[in-house]
Amino acid sequence: MRQQIVAGNWKMNNDLSQTESLISELKNIKKTSNAEVMVAPTFTNLLTAVKALKTVDIEVIAQNMHFAENGAYTGEISAAMLKSVGINTVILGHSERRAYFNETDDMLAKKVDAALANNMRVIFCFGEELADRKSGNHEHIVESQIKNALFHLDASAFKNIVLAYEPVWAIGTGETASPEQAQDMHAFIRKTLSNKYGNALANSVSILYGGSVKPNNAQEIFSKPDVDGGLIGGAALNATDFFAIVNAF
Ligand code: 13P
């Protein structure tokens, strides 16, 4: 049985006091599903979140990191720095990082290596843009994003990799991929993994869907056989909505 995961990506939202209030609301809601729950506050609030969530079953994760161990990279944060404040999982390759901060597949391959070398787990994001979907090129794009950043890894590395398919046209737009579109792509991703690493590995990797997941559509999306959870943006900023999604499993 693959691990079900619901992760909230808070993006560049919530200052320290807003982070504290959201966390105290999250702590008051009962989890009724078996999904693993994660939240990704911004860097400045990670330590506060780690301390505040120590007693509950919600993992605090980071939204990004640099690939170097340390050095002259003004404004950047390393894996070791994240580990030192209790962070063991990092989101890499989010489409907003690719689009606004020019993150390339090569850079992401290095970031993945750095995270794994520091015994961190990676939630690796990828997804096509609307033009790719319209031209029927979406599978090709997704396949190349996965191959370029991950296929240099040994099979054993995949125990620390979670995949997150986030079609760019569905992020923050209110437009969700239909449950069938999500299922078709997740099955394609699993086949891509299977072709390289074999069926057993492909069937062991959790693949999350992200893009306008809300309380009213989560259950249908999560009911698809190859969808193992969600990476949630906007709805993760509201504790009630976020847990409605967590409890949709
Ligand atoms: P929304 O849920 O706001 O569409 O964002 C999805 C996302 O980008 C999560 O990483």
CB 67 within 8 A of CB 61: no
**Residue 167, token pair as written in the block:** 């079609």
- Specify the pairing of strand 161-165 against strand 36-40: unpaired
Long-range pairs of 183-188 with CB within 8 A, sequence gap ≥ 24: 183/224, 183/225, 183/226, 183/227, 185/138, 185/139, 185/142, 186/224, 186/226, 186/227, 187/226, 188/139, 188/142, 188/143
How many other CB atoms are found less than 10 A from the CB of residue 208? 25
| Catalytic one of 94, 103, 128, 138 | 94
- The confidence score (pLDDT) of residue 175 equals 82
Q: What is the pLDDT of residues 85-113, one digit of tens each?
A: 999 999 999 999 999 999 999 999 999 99
> How far apart are the C-alpha atoms of 163 and 201, rounded to whole Å?
13
- The confidence score (pLDDT) of residue 174 equals 83
Confirm whether 140 is a catalytic residue.
Answer: no
Asked whether 212 lines ligand 1 (CB < 6 A), one says yes
Ligand 1 nearest atom to the CA of residue 170, by list position: 4
Confirm whether 166 is a catalytic residue.
Answer: yes
CB 210 within 8 A of CB 222: no
User: Measured in angstroms, how far is the CA atom of residue 198 from the centroid of ligand 1?
Assistant: 30
CB 210 within 8 A of CB 165: yes
Mutate to test the pocket of ligand 1, among 98, 126, 231, 241 (most ligand atoms within 8 A of CB): 231
Q: Mean of the per-residue pLDDT values for the chain?
A: 97
Could you give the percent of the chain with pLDDT greater than 70?
A: 100
Mean of the pLDDT values across residues 175-183? 92
**Residue 231, token pair as written in the block:** 């990476």
User: Is residue 60 very low, low, confident or very high in pLDDT (cuts 50, 70, 90)?
Assistant: very high
Examine the pLDDT at 63 and tell me if it is beyond 90. Answer: yes
Mutate to test the pocket of ligand 1, among 39, 64, 171 (most ligand atoms within 8 A of CB): 171
User: Measured in angstroms, how far is the CA atom of residue 58 from the centroid of ligand 1?
Assistant: 19
User: Measured in angstroms, how far is the CA atom of residue 232 from the centroid of ligand 1?
Assistant: 5
Residue with the nearest Cα to atom 1 of ligand 1? Answer: 233
Examine the pLDDT at 1 and tell me if it is beyond 80. Answer: no
Ligand 1 nearest atom to the CA of residue 173, by list position: 4
Q: What is the pLDDT of residues 148-170, one digit of tens each?
A: 999 999 999 999 999 999 999 99
Examine the pLDDT at 171 and tell me if it is beyond 80. Answer: yes
